[in-house]
């Protein structure tokens, strides 16, 4: 009968588990505003972020600017007090903001100026519009008309928002022509004599008048 050998070794199971979790805000694409990542892990002593675009961070709560809108796989790897690592991965969509543009007709004071939205967006759809006409009035229509009471130049601003909640704005100058101030004088004359009429009509912008 063969001999049997026994070898005993103590195995140490390290306690100190950690649970990785994170949240993020501001997922509208912007060259100036960052996406804010917030660590919500339990028991973490170290953090390694992979933002899915080749960039990373070891901060607990980093901010990151994406170069283009799109969908990215973001992972957070945390270290526990025992030296074990745990990973949490989420899909983060960076939504584009609208490219805002519009046109307006040139009208006379008292006539309706027509505004036409020319905005576009690469992903999703534009769902709301906020027009500020530069004279204190506003509109939430997509293609509104507006009556300016006096001639001059106005700074009109359109803020457009997408169905993902991302917004942008653009401001253009709107020209409104003034109305002529119509007037004339006449000479006194007797019956049968010629009465002379003199046109005194003026217009504030100095443009040519036709009769």
Domain 102-177 in the same topology as domain 22-94: yes
pLDDT tens per residue across span 114-168 = 999 999 999 899 999 999 999 999 999 999 999 999 999 999 999 999 999 999 9
**Which strand (E) or helix (H) includes residue 128?**
strand 126-132
Domain borders along the chain are: 22-94, 102-177
The pLDDT-based confidence of 26 (bands split at 50, 70, 90) is confident
Does the structure show a pLDDT above 90 at 66?
yes
**95 secondary structure, DSSP code:** B
Q: Concatenated DSSP letters for 49-73?
A: EE-SSS-EE-SSS-EE--SS-EEEE
Q: Which pTM does this prediction carry?
A: 0.73
- The domain 22-94: what is its CATH number? 2.60.40.10
Chain-centroid distance, C-alpha 69:
13
What is the third-level CATH fold of 102-177? Immunoglobulin-like (2.60.40)
**201 secondary structure, DSSP code:** -
């Amino acid at each position: 009968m063969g001999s049997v050998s026994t070898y005993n070794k103590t195995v140490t199971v390290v306690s100190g588990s950690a649970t990785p979790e994170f949240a993020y805000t501001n997922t509208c694409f912007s060259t100036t505003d960052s996406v804010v990542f917030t660590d919500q892990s339990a028991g973490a002593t170290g953090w390694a972020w992979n933002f899915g675009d080749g960039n990373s961070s070891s901060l607990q709560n980093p901010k990151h600017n994406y170069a283009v809108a799109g969908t990215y796989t973001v992972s957070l790897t945390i270290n526990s007090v025992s030296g074990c690592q745990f990973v949490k991965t989420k899909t983060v969509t960076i939504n584009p903001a609208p490219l805002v543009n519009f046109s307006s007709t040139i009208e006379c004071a008292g006539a309706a100026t027509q505004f036409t939205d020319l905005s576009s967006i690469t992903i999703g759809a534009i769902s709301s519009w906020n027009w500020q006409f530069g004279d204190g009035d506003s509109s939430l229509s997509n293609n509104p008309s507006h009556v300016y009471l006096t001639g001059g130049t106005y700074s009109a601003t359109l803020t457009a928002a997408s169905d993902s909640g991302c917004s942008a704005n653009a401001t253009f100058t709107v020209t409104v022509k003034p109305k002529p101030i119509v007037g004339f004088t006449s000479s006194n004359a007797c019956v049968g004599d010629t009465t002379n009429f003199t046109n005194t009509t003026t217009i504030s912008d100095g443009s040519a008048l036709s009769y």
